[in-house]
Amino acid sequence: MNNSPITGKDRILTIDIIRGFALFGIFLVNMPAFHSPVFMKSFYGQGVEYSGIDYWVDVFFSLFVEMKFFTIFSFLFGLGLFIYIIVVRQNTRYFSDEMNGERFCFRQNICFGINYKQRR
């Protein structure tokens, strides 16, 4: 198996564009934390009251922007992983039929256990 990066012609341009859009959205959502103390006020439980256009911008951000880009980015990560697994299955014999399900379930359980232990 060749361990070199894929060439430009093998990349899926649409996925890269949407991934860039999602990263830009995540950057925009985090902009208030970069330039104002709103994040620290909400961290200490102090409410922030907006008025005028600031109120409507906050409503728009809350309804249509916050947490939407994380979902898009996470979906694209899973899609990229799926495409990678398909390519590996086509090019190698690493994924044999008799061990595929068992190995995958074992690794998923290990990752779940590590994640569960870290959250406790």
pLDDT tens by residue, 7-35: 777 778 888 888 888 888 888 888 877 77
Mean pLDDT on 25-53: 77
Measure the CA dihedral 14/17/23/28, to 10°.
-130
Name every residue whose Cβ is closer than 8 Å to that of residue 53 and which is 6 or more positions away in sequence. Answer: none
Q: Residue 97: pLDDT band by 50, 70, 90 thresholds?
A: low
Distances (CA, A) of 88 to 78, 79, 104: 15, 14, 14
* Least confident among 12-16, 81-85, 98-102: 98-102
**Rounded-to-5 percentages of helix, strand, coil across the chain:** 75, 0, 25
What's this model's pTM, rounded to 2 decimal places?
A: 0.56
Residue 53's pLDDT is 92
Q: Using an 8 Å Cβ cutoff, are 67 and 26 in contact?
A: no
Name every residue whose Cβ is closer than 8 Å to that of residue 80 and which is 6 or more positions away in sequence. Answer: 15
More confident residue, 55 or 39: 55
Residue 99's pLDDT is 57
